[in-house]
Copies of this chain bind each other. A is one copy, B any other.
């Protein structure tokens, strides 16, 4: 039984329930933590859509729940907010704690193909498959109504997962995402370690800009909402959203990229625009009869 979970703690919030949980991940071969906010509608026994949030470097499954100002809007819109941790922890892999850009807290949402990471860092498969199984086995969730969003490294993860799995994700958005990791120092370091330097072609499967460039019928895909602060300290070196904007324009992919003067890379920026993102997802996830 691979979907059994352990409850760490639960807290009533906005009429729903925020819980911290752990389970033994088969995919990652390690214990994983995750957080779930069940809206009041779920507490009344109704099955509700799932909105997955992927956090950025150094963050955990708790970050969005504590800092994101998201729970009220998840409650109001009847969405189950699910956030995995940003990597396995405690696998004792060499170098896993040496660098905040690699290893613990920096799984980059890829399936690592290189040792030592490949035995435990399978975050792409973990999020797109195993975590959903665990959620649906333990909470009143609607598997067929799933959206995904994230921040920075997690924005990269959300875009890649949504672009590659239109059958799984009905809605997608991101805050200050790493839209072209192949062209950024963060992505280059992580992909070199997790995927290896020999076959850089394989990196393209984890690069949102590359995925859009190759896409057919892009105009029919779920529209993407991206918010980006113009005082973001990582904007020029790591994020360069214009690269993704250009790719979407050329492919005809529906993108709304909003640039906000004065906002930085942190959670005060995210909190400010959280309501817009949850409404963006709810518009596609919540249907007639869900009221």
Contacts and interface: CB of A to CB of B under 8 A. Distances in A.
A269 B66 contact: no
A71 B69 CA distance: 10
Interface residues of A, number: 22
Interface string A26-55: 000000000000000000000000000000
A245 interface: no
A89 to B, nearest CB: 22
A272 B15 CA distance: 8
A229 B15 CA distance: 12
Contacts of A71: 69, 268, 271
A200 interface: no
Contacts of A268: 11-13, 18, 71
A6 B266 CA distance: 21
Contacts of A95: none
Contacts of A21: none
A109 to B, nearest CB: 25
A268 B70 CA distance: 11
A262 interface: yes
A132 to B, nearest CB: 25
Contacts of A66: 66-67, 267
A273 B18 CA distance: 15
Interface string A93-114: 0000000000000000000000
Contacts of A234: none
Contacts of A72: 69, 271-272
Given A11-B268, A13-B271, 4 more contacts: A11-B266, A12-B263, A66-B66, A71-B268
The 6 closest A-B pairs by CB, nearest first: A13-B268, A11-B268, A12-B262, A12-B263, A14-B272, A69-B69
Interface of A: 11-15, 18, 66-67, 69, 71-72, 229, 231, 262-264, 266-269, 271-272
10 contacts: A11-B264, A12-B268, A12-B272, A13-B268, A13-B269, A13-B272, A14-B272, A15-B272, A66-B66, A67-B67
